[in-house]
Chain A
Amino acid sequence: MTPLLEARNVSKRFGPVVALKNVSMRVYAGEVHCLLGDNGAGKSTLIKIFSGVFPPDEGTLLVDGAPVRFQSPKDAMDRGIATVYQDLAMIPLMSIVRNFFLGREPTTGWGPFRRFDLKKAEKIAAEELEKIGIHVRDVHQAVGTLSGGERQSVAIARAVHFGARVLILDEPTSALGVKEAAVVLRYIVEAKSRGVGVVFITHNVHHAWAVGDVFTLLNRGEQVGTFRREETTREEVLQMMAGGEALERLEVELAEFARQERRTR
């Protein structure tokens, strides 16, 4: 099977800083590909290359097996690659239906009488919300009335509705509570079952393990490895993450700190 989206040996430098070094990654339809790593590991740089924010310095980007060079995020969107950013997902004061269709409003009428087809928009938005299990009384209520998890889910539903084949989710669960995160994770699984290829960026290994099929680990711009779920365990993934190392170190330090506390008391 040809991957929907592939990065082949991509590198990216910002001045003297090497942000990504020789990283390869394949995203297949119907698969959740988790991109893991600590802050500064290069996750954001890689997804910005995927979503057309900037091109790689070296290496190739391929869509459906053919090399591409995106000039802008819109290029990537036109090829079915949609990115949902944690902080840019939705506009709180706007209604759900207006948010859902912002920038891609359905219209009716012609010429100067072309207008926003709100009836159609309301119908579609209500259907899409129903599909992801979010029940609202009125799609005209402000997005601000939704919970953080619901907002992320609606943003994802919007991307899928507008034909995303590859969905890049930038830390969609990091600002959410446990229940909220579960809402988003459930919807990630649903998007996957519809045949969407999902790139899921997180530094929460529990969230990754709950939905991931493949795990790619980055550390300081380098690829630690790519593992299929059946080849590894959660503990192993946790260990390999820079976050895992840091956690171990932190535990040692905390233990040392506690000992000293006891002694001084």
Chain B
Amino acid sequence: MNVRRLLARPELGSLAGVLLVFGFFAFVAGDRGFLSARGTLNYLEVAAQLGLLAATVSLLMIAGEFDLSVGSMIGAAGMALAIPVAIWGWPMWAGIGLAFLVAAAFGALNGYLVVRTGLPSFIVTLASLFILRGATLGFTRWITSRTRVSGLHEFTTGDPLAPFFSGDPLGIPISVWWWVALTLFASYLLFRTPFGNWIFGVGGDPKAAHAVGVPVARVKITLFIATAMSAALLAVIQVLDTGSADVLRGELKELEAIAAAVIGGNLLTGGYGSVVGGALGALLLGMVKQGIFFTGINTDWFKVFLGTLLLAAVLLNNYLRKKALEAPR
């Protein structure tokens, strides 16, 4: 890989951002625990939970679509696991299976509606954001007469599936392991398989992609299933970690995931980007979120940083992308 090709990579801006933010907090809060192993694991875990979503949201964004319902899906999938296990006494594997099944079915429905109606996915998934959150609240209250199901540790401790979704193997939170694995897999899929090439084509110009034989609808629906499934994965990890599920869990996560993907250099209109960029975007947000805490600045200010970062990142990425397109020969 030559230098020029390296400079044209979509994640370049976010890499610079991560180094800058890391440097800033290391300088300002390095002696207050930001650089300690605990501090590092702390922001890595926050980044990982967001990064799980950012990986699939990036793929979908490159394919030219949004999924605003992933946040609601976190709450829904959590309940789809917690209610059957805690209330109806299902075995854990069945509860986890149901959570993923609900997610896959709803993701497929999202994708099908977008492909079939031709409406912007922004609108379709905005509708699912409300419907899914409302349905989760409605069903949960109807079945349990509360909005929270807790005490799951009683059922999950000692279950053979528990080590896959909870604990800290080798001292690192399980979510970080999943984040790294999912990012590597999605990145491999994007850059090294025919399906990945189709993702770029579908996002770049669906008509042109269709004209050369790319199954545009299938690619999109598959990716909507993927975003919903990654939300379910995060929900399962959270439920097993905290031992509870809450109908409000995951609120606004969809916007944070989109922010991470955009900071990572993914083009909002599709056709350009990378999964590693989305992961760096998540890392950046995780670092800022936890870093502020170490500096002693009131964490109320986090969202100010988030918004400013987002704007700065998009401007930088736009500039870099333009440079890539006017590359001399």
Interface residues of A (CB under 8 A from B): 73-74, 77, 85, 88-94, 98, 101-105, 107, 114-116, 118, 135-138, 140-142, 144-145
Contacts and interface: CB of A to CB of B under 8 A. Distances in A.
Contacts of A144: 325
24 contacts: A73-B211, A77-B213, A88-B205, A90-B208, A91-B204, A91-B205, A93-B271, A98-B200, A102-B198, A102-B200, A102-B201, A103-B198, A103-B201, A103-B209, A115-B188, A116-B194, A116-B197, A135-B329, A136-B329, A138-B5, A141-B327, A142-B324, A142-B325, A145-B327
A89 B5 CA distance: 24
A138 B194 contact: no
A91 B271 contact: yes
A137 B329 contact: yes
Interface string B4-33: 110010000000000000000000000000
A77 B193 CA distance: 23
Contacts, number: 83
Interface of B: 2, 4-5, 8, 188, 191-194, 196-198, 200-201, 204-205, 207-209, 211-214, 267, 271-272, 324-327, 329
Contact of A74 (B198, B207, B209, B213): B213
Given A141-B327, A142-B327, A116 B192 contact: yes
Given A102-B214, A115-B192, A93 B329 contact: no
A103 B4 contact: no
Contacts of B188: 115
A90 to B, nearest CB: 7
A74 B208 CA distance: 14
B211 A88 contact: yes
A88 B207 contact: yes
A17 to B, nearest CB: 24
B211 A92 contact: no
Contacts of B212: 102-104
B200 A94 contact: yes
A75 to B, nearest CB: 12
A165 B4 CA distance: 38
Contacts of A94: 200-201, 204, 271
A206 B131 CA distance: 60
Contacts of B213: 74, 77, 103-104
Nearest to A90: B208
A116 B193 contact: yes
Contacts of B192: 115-116, 118
B208 A114 contact: no
Contact of B272 (A90, A93, A103): A93
A115 B327 contact: no
Closest 5 CB pairs of A and B: A91-B204, A105-B194, A103-B212, A103-B213, A144-B325
Given A101-B197, A115-B192, A91 B209 contact: yes
A102 B329 contact: no
Contacts of A88: 205, 207-208, 211
A141 B196 contact: no
A228 to B, nearest CB: 32
Contacts of B271: 91, 93-94
B326 to A, nearest CB: 7
Nearest to B212: A103
A140 B327 CA distance: 11
B13 to A, nearest CB: 16
A121 B208 CA distance: 20
A90 B211 CA distance: 11
A105 B198 CA distance: 9
